[in-house]
């Protein structure tokens, strides 16, 4: 099932509508590493990761795996592991997936710049839990925890992002 994500922060899934946080750099077709933009286009949901020590396993149409304290994601475009899940410690710049806040309690890995990986085109584009105030992300799509669970359980397999509200 495909969800449509509009630039005004609405995620549409069938007849349901949810408020979403997007990248503070807007939605861009020319996504680059570090621009804080959400990429424009169709992004497959590859798999879902979750904090089994905090929450119950989410229902999803894609594989679901628990996170571990040493899980990370390489965001260093000069490293061969760029835009890939890694184990920590890691010598290159990276993001820790085992966070002290709740935003990565559920992480949907979106298919951006992964087939093939192009250095500098952007990394770690996820569907994850939004901050309570729905603050902008670094380029991901984020939903309230209950909404994220509902969207995943509905059989989400792909999101399509638009740069123009209402498109």
54 within some domain: yes
70 within some domain: yes
56 within some domain: yes
* Mean pLDDT calculated for residue range 103-120: 98
Confidence at 165, pLDDT banded by 50, 70, 90 = low
152 sits in which H/E element: helix 145-153
Provide the mean pLDDT of the chain.
97
3 within some domain: no
Q: What percent of the chain stands above pLDDT 90? A: 97
How many Å apart are CA 70 and CA 92, to the nearest integer? Answer: 14
Could you give the number of structural domains in the chain?
A: 1
* Mean pLDDT calculated for residue range 90-110: 98
Distance between alpha carbon 82 and the CA centroid of its chain, in Å? 16
Confidence at 167, pLDDT banded by 50, 70, 90 = low
9 within some domain: no
5 within some domain: no
Confidence at 118, pLDDT banded by 50, 70, 90 = very high
14 within some domain: no
* Mean pLDDT calculated for residue range 115-135: 98
1 within some domain: no
List the domain range (segments joined by +) for residue 26.
21-37+44-157
């Amino acid at each position: 099932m495909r969800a449509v994500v509009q630039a005004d922060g609405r995620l549409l899934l069938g007849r349901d509508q949810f408020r979403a946080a997007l990248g503070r750099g807007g939605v861009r077709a020319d996504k680059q590493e570090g621009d804080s933009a959400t990429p424009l286009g169709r992004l497959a949901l590859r798999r879902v990761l979750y904090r089994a020590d905090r929450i119950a396993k989410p229902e999803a149409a894609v594989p679901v795996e628990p996170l571990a304290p040493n899980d990370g994601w390489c965001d260093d475009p000069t490293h061969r592991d760029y835009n890939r899940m890694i184990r920590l410690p890691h010598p290159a710049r990276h993001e820790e997936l085992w966070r002290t806040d709740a935003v990565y309690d559920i992480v949907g890995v979106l298919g951006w710049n992964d087939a093939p990986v192009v250095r500098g085109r952007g990394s770690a584009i996820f569907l994850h839990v939004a901050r309570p105030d729905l603050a902008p992300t670094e380029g991901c799509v984020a939903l309230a925890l209950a909404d994220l669970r509902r969207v995943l359980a509905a059989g989400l397999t792909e999101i399509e992002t638009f740069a123009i509200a209402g498109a």
